[in-house]
Amino acid sequence: MLKVFGAARWLLGLPPANAIEAPQPVAATTFHRFRELPPEIRRGIWNLALPPPRVYEPEASSTDVLKPVKFLTEFPPPAMREACREAYGVCMSRGCFQSGYWGSRMRGIWYNVFTDAIYYACEMQCTRTQIETPATIYLSADCALRSPNCRDFLMSPKFDYCERLIVAVYPPGSWEMDAKELRGTEPVFRKIKDEESVGYHGFDDTDWPMEERQVVEGYDAPESDVIGWEDAKEVILNIFERRKGILREINEEGPSEITVREYHEGDLEVEAVEVFRTPIPKALPA
């Protein structure tokens, strides 16, 4: 019987039954043994597949808080979340959809709560948008240091959960400029050192006592109107400490679910950057 089957395979051009068949070629992009990896390694790989940190800039073209917030550049959700259930779980454990219709996730952006940031380049972006309080905020130096109500910006509820504040120095800008001027460009940042000047400021003697100010030569404005980053950082940290004290007193006076205002109680990380605007590269034709 075996000879009959052997002859049949020979007639059909098939290799002998006991022959070792050559392995089928596998595409270089195929990771067919991925499921055999330990779960912690698989999750680590999915985490590495997430997009790099992204900076969202509100467009502030409308004051309608019931509609989704528009941004100068809107990034797509991570493509890896559609790979499988495990990838989706990792994706949604790092971020969420927000700033959509009625302040919900509907038609909102996907935002990585651990690495992404919001950039307020001017006053209208702060006052015309309702964005869930992010942990990392870029705030224009024109708002944080030079506007007529710079202290009010730092006291705003928008900074209740702020853990990292980056003061963004953009010399061509102003606190009252229109965010539409920034369309078609994206920010590029250079870190500012403590000994560098960040320009003029609007702090009064309460925020920055006159006796602590140093003479800075080479400016048209009075020396006391110019501030270095080391001093500006100390002023901002002091304002945030006063802010936490005020919120603590409010919560102690009215400890109810309605009156209690949650906020970040830990230390604030503060730094400064110089901002350059570069044209957004156009997509290549398909």
Residues 6+ apart with CB under 8 A from 51: 75, 78, 112
Domain annotation covers residue 167: yes
Domain annotation covers residue 122: yes
- Which of 212 and 99 is assigned the larger pLDDT? 99
The count of structural domains within the chain is: 1
Domain annotation covers residue 178: yes
- Which of 135 and 17 is assigned the larger pLDDT? 135
**pLDDT band per the 50, 70, 90 thresholds, residue 11:** very low
Domain annotation covers residue 183: yes
Domain annotation covers residue 28: no
Give the model's pLDDT for residue 221: 52
Highest mean pLDDT among 130-139, 178-187, 188-197, 213-222: 188-197
Give the model's pLDDT for residue 167: 97
* Residues 275 and 170: beta-carbon distance below 8 Å: yes
234-275 confidence digits (pLDDT tens): 999 999 998 898 888 888 876 665 567 788 889 999 999 999
Domain that holds residue 203: 55-74+113-279
Give the model's pLDDT for residue 226: 84
Give kind and range of the element (H or E) at residue 274: strand 269-279
Question: Two tokens at 174?
Answer: 């102003």
Q: Among 164, 173, 283, 284, which residue's Cα sits nearest to residue 233?
A: 164
Domain annotation covers residue 106: no
Give the model's pLDDT for residue 28: 58
207-225: average pLDDT: 60
Domain annotation covers residue 120: yes
Domain annotation covers residue 20: no
111-163 confidence digits (pLDDT tens): 999 999 999 998 888 888 888 779 999 999 999 998 777 888 888 888 999 99
* Dist. CA 119–CA 100, nearest whole Å: 18
* Dist. CA 172–CA 184, nearest whole Å: 16
Give the model's pLDDT for residue 71: 93
SS3 assignment, position 20:
coil
What's the chain's length in residues? 286
